[in-house]
């Protein structure tokens, strides 16, 4: 009896396990997307983003914004407030909690040029909330149409047992388990339902290019996207744009290699990550050295052991590794006829400053990578006039292949530029520079300072007094700065090895928030006056606007942009560091 009783309970247990359905895997929006889609993006849990957006300090910044204050006075704001209150009452929860439930599960977006359509899929943590929200909005819209004596725009249609809704032209949606799928075409949603019902359908997950890229998606990424560049390049307009010669030399210098990769990479991906107090976006193209065109080999100059220069109060720095002489040589292959003609004209004009040297092979060829530009907040000497508008100090740092031979030529060029500035300034009644030299830490600094003028105000001087252009050679480097102080700081860094890091990125741009906020604060009164004149604000309103701007900048720590030339890819990476918030 005991044995039969035990066997009976065992059988009942097995039957109950069989009867309990296995938890279904969440619907993969990529499987619902068509194989012809050329773009797909997904965001994971938005809680980290919502935490920042909905926190008190962020709301305070938004509420202080002038645009928000104007909006609060509008009838639309009052209607929105009433609508939100009514919606909260019907849902039985606050709008912030509802927003977290609706968006907390993630978002997916796909685009399909073949059908000129796509869809947006929102994964909801509480699927029953989707149906409830759909019913409430439908009732709101129908009641509004009835009040205004208009036909209801709400329409519905069934397909394979699922109901699709449309609340107006160009919008339709379905609720698919825990997904709200929205599109601009009903046929797109019918195809979504068909793929969902067909277990063998793979959709975009059947694309080898997509799956190859998705396999490289970093774990824990907040967001990720994929674009089928091979399909995009088939469009005639894209083909024409990629095959056309450039008409912008600056864009070619900064991004010419990226254009080369776009012509050949099979796809592009972007990854968004939020790590502690850093938001990082990385765009990547599969691309290696063997794919580089001969005309753009100059873009990928090899990184060396150059120090990353960061003098005190640095606002920003910019560096790039380029063989500019190679760019000059390849100009006819890269640029259109108008730009090539401008190159020829520039060669003639620049030759005046470089003693008739051929600018490409005899000037640019003397420069070794990298080039660096440094911008910093400057300190003003107590015995010199202080300008009312305070500008940052700037410097260009050149690395020379043959410093003994070429540095003297750069010094002559500097003297010619100062002489030309004196000539042009003198004709317009501007103060004049006096050329002199100064020995500093074993380095000779050539400088140009303004002649003493008793008529110049000590604390309200003109903008000219932001400048005391200077230059110096320090080893293999030549520093050209807008102020003597900046040149001294950089010669200190170069001569004494004060830099703790080396430049390794193909291109790097860094902005420091604290010094930027400090120099804006130096000019606070001018900014307030400008705001009053341009926006028509009262002084209190202008002070609030400028204060909000400074507060926003001080919420940041650093912004960095890097172009990385890696072994199998070319990647553009942007990062924003936030200051930790207090308790």
Domain presence at residue 418? yes
Integer-rounded Cα Rg, in Å, for the chain is 32
Whether residue 558 is contained in a domain is answered as: no
Task: Say whether pLDDT at 14 is over 70.
Answer: no
Percentage of the chain modeled with pLDDT above 90: 65
| pLDDT at res. 492 | 92
Per-residue confidence (pLDDT) for residue 497, from 0 to 100: 60
Question: Cα-Cα-Cα-Cα dihedral of 363, 366, 372, 378, to 10°?
Answer: -70
Do residue 355 and residue 482 come from a single domain?
Answer: yes
Contact between 189 and 173 (Cβ < 8 Å): yes
Residues 200 and 321 in one domain: no
Asked if residue 6 has pLDDT above 70, the reply is no
How confident is the model at residue 561, as a pLDDT? 97
Pair 474, 410: CB distance under 8 Å: no
- Cα separation values, 88 from 74, 83, 97, Å: 22, 9, 10
Q: Does 335 lie in the same domain as 197?
A: no
Distance (Å, rounded) from C-alpha 278 to C-alpha 295? Answer: 37
- 349-367 in b/e form (b: 16+ CB < 10 A) is eeeebbeebebbebbbbbb
Confidence category of residue 582, pLDDT binned at 50, 70, 90 = low
Q: Please indicate, yes or no, whether residues 322 and 184 belong to a single structural domain of this protein.
A: no
From 472, 504, 536, give the residue that closes a domain. Answer: 504
CA neighbor of 481 nearest in space, from 372, 381, 406: 372
Element (H, E) at 496: helix 484-496
How many other C-beta atoms lie within 10 A of the C-beta of residue 143? 11
Question: Which pLDDT score is estimated for 4?
Answer: 37
3-state secondary structure of 41: strand
Q: Are residues 180 and 314 in the same domain?
A: no
Residue 568: C-alpha distances to residues 209, 269, 285, 541 (Å): 16, 14, 9, 53
Stronger pLDDT, 500 or 204, i.e. the higher one: 204
Domain-located, residue 528: no
For 344, the token pair is: 């020829």
Half-sphere exposure of 288 (CA within 13 A, CB side): 3
Q: Which of 336, 304, 334, 335 is nearest to 319 (CA)?
A: 304
CA-based end-to-end distance of the chain: 67
Q: Are 203 and 32 in contact (CB under 8 A)?
A: yes
* pLDDT tens digits, one per residue of 245-285: 999 999 999 999 999 999 999 999 999 998 888 999 999 99
Q: Is residue 567 part of a domain?
A: no
Instruction: Identify whether residues 320 and 427 lie together within a single domain.
Output: yes
Mean pLDDT across the chain:
88
Higher per-residue confidence, 154 vs 356 = 154
Q: 458: domain range?
A: 304-504
* Per-residue pLDDT tens digits for 195-252: 999 989 999 999 999 999 999 999 889 999 999 999 999 988 999 988 899 999 999 9
pTM over the 0.95 mark? no
Distances (CA, A) of 185 to 154, 168, 190, 201, 523: 15, 12, 9, 21, 53
309 in the same domain as 165: no
Q: Which two tokens stand for residue 416?
A: 């010619």
Place of tokens 């774990």: 219
pLDDT (0 to 100) of residue 1: 35
Chain position carrying tokens 């105000």: 457
In which residue are the tokens 């044995």 written?
3
C-alpha 478/C-alpha 474 separation (Å) is 6
Judged by DSSP in three states, 363 sits in: helix
Q: Are residues 377 and 495 in the same domain?
A: yes
What are the distances in angstroms from CA 390 to CA 458, 462, 519, 546, 561?
A: 13, 10, 7, 17, 26
Please tell me whether the peptide bond between 360 and the residue prior to it is cis, using omega within 30 degrees of 0: no
Q: Select from 185, 206, 227 the last residue of a domain.
A: 206
Confirm whether 573 is domain-assigned: no
**Total domains, the chain:** 2
pLDDT at 316: 97
Same domain, 82 and 200: yes
Tell me the three state secondary structure of residue 405: helix
Decide: 256 and 246 in contact? Cβ < 8 Å: yes
pLDDT (0 to 100) of residue 581: 66
Q: Which residue has the tokens 């599969």?
A: 286
In a domain, 350, yes or no: yes
Reduced to 3 states (helix: H, G, I; strand: E, B; else coil), residue 168 is strand
What letter would DSSP give residue 206?
G
Q: Which residues contact 558 (CB under 8 A, 6 or more apart)?
A: 510, 511, 512, 513, 575, 576, 577
Q: What is the DSSP code (8-state) at residue 361?
A: I
Residue 318 within a domain: yes
Cβ–Cβ < 8 Å for 116, 103: no
In a shared domain, residues 186 and 315: no
> What tens digit of pLDDT does each residue of 28-87 get?
999 999 999 999 999 988 777 777 777 777 777 777 777 777 778 888 888 888 888 888
- Of 151, 176, 206, the residue that ends a domain is 206
> Token pair of 268, please?
């592009």
Helix axis angle, 127-147 to 75-91, nearest 10°? 130
Please check whether residue 163 lies inside any domain of the structure.
yes
Same domain (yes/no): 446, 308: yes
Q: How high is the pLDDT of residue 498?
A: 54
φ, ψ of residue 70 in degrees (nearest 5): -65, -40
Angular region, 374: left φ>0, alpha ψ -120 to 50, beta rest: beta
Q: What is the predicted pLDDT for the residue at 61?
A: 72
- DSSP code string of 84-138: HHHHHHHHTS-HHHHHHHHHTT-EEEEEETTTTEEEEEEE-S-HHHHHHHHHHHH
Paired tokens of 20: 């309990």
pLDDT band at 173 (very low <50, low <70, confident <90, very high): very high
User: What band does 3 get if pLDDT is binned at 50, 70 and 90?
Assistant: very low
pLDDT at 7 over 70: no
506-549 pLDDT per residue, tens = 999 999 999 999 999 999 999 999 999 998 889 998 998 899 89
What is the DSSP secondary-structure string of 226-291? EEEHHHHTTSHHHHHHHHSPBS-HHHHHHHHHHHHHHTT-SEEEEEEEEETTEEEEEEEEE--GGG
């Amino acid at each position: 009896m005991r044995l039969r009783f035990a066997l009976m309970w065992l059988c009942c247990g097995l039957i109950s396990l069989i009867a309990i359905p296995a938890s279904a895997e969440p619907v993969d929006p990529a499987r619902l997307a068509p194989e012809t889609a050329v773009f797909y993006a997904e965001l994971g849990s938005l809680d980290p983003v919502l935490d920042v957006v909905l926190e008190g300090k962020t709301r305070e910044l938004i509420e202080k914004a002038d645009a928000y204050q104007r909006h609060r006075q509008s009838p639309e704001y009052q209607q929105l407030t009433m609508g939100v209150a009514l919606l909260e009452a019907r849902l039985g929860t606050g709008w912030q909690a509802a927003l977290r439930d609706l968006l907390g599960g993630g978002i997916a977006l796909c685009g399909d040029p073949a059908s000129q359509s796509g869809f947006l899929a929102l994964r909801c943590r509480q699927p029953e909330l989707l149906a409830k929200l759909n019913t409430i909005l439908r009732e709101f819209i129908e009641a509004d149409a009835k009040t205004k004596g208009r036909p209801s725009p709400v329409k519905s249609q069934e397909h394979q047992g699922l109901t699709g809704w449309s609340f107006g032209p160009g919008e339709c949606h379905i609720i698919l388990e825990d997904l709200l799928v929205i599109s601009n075409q009903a046929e797109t949603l019918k195809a979504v339902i068909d793929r969902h019902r067909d277990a063998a359908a793979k959709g975009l997950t059947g694309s080898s290019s997509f799956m190859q890229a998705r396999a490289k998606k970093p774990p824990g990424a907040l967001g990720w996207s994929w674009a089928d560049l091979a399909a995009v390049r088939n469009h005639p307009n894209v083909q024409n744009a990629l095959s056309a010669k450039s008409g912008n030399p600056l864009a070619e210098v900064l991004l010419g290699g990226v254009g080369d990769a776009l012509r050949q990479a099979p796809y592009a991906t972007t990854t968004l990550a939020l790590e502690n107090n850093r938001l990082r976006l990385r765009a990547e193209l599969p691309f290696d050295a063997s794919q580089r065109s001969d005309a753009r080999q100059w873009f990928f100059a090899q990184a060396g052991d150059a120090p990353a220069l960061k003098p005190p109060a640095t606002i920003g720095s910019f560096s790039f590794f380029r063989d500019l002489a190679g760019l000059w040589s390849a100009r006819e292959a890269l640029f259109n006829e108008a730009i090539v003609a401008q190159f020829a004209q520039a060669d003639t004009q620049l030759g005046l400053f470089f003693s008739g040297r051929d600018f490409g092979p005899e000037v640019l060829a003397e420069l070794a990578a990298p080039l660096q530009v440094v911008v910093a907040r400057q300190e003003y000497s107590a015995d010199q006039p202080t300008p009312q508008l305070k500008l940052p100090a700037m410097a260009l740092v050149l690395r020379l292949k043959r410093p003994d031979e070429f540095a003297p030529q750069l010094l002559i060029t500097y003297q010619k530029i100062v002489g030309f500035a004196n000539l042009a300034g003198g004709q317009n009644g501007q103060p004049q520079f006096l050329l002199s030299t100064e020995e500093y830490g074993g380095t000779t600094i050539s400088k140009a300072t303004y002649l003493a003028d008793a008529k110049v105000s000590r604390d309200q001087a003109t903008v000219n007094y932001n400048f005391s252009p200077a230059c110096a050679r320090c080893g293999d480097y030549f520093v050209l700065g807008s102020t003597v102080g900046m040149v001294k700081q950089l010669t200190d860094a170069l001569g004494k090895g004060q830099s703790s890091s080396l430049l390794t990125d193909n291109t790097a741009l860094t902005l420091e928030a604290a010094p930027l906020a400090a120099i804006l604060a130096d000019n606070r009164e001018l900014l307030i006056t400008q705001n009053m004149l341009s926006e028509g604000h009262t002084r209190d309103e202008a002070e609030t606007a400028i204060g909000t701007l400074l507060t926003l900048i001080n919420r940041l720590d650093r912004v960095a942009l890097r172009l990385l030339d890696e072994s199998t890819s070319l990647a553009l990476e942007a990062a924003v560091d936030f200051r930790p918030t207090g308790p």
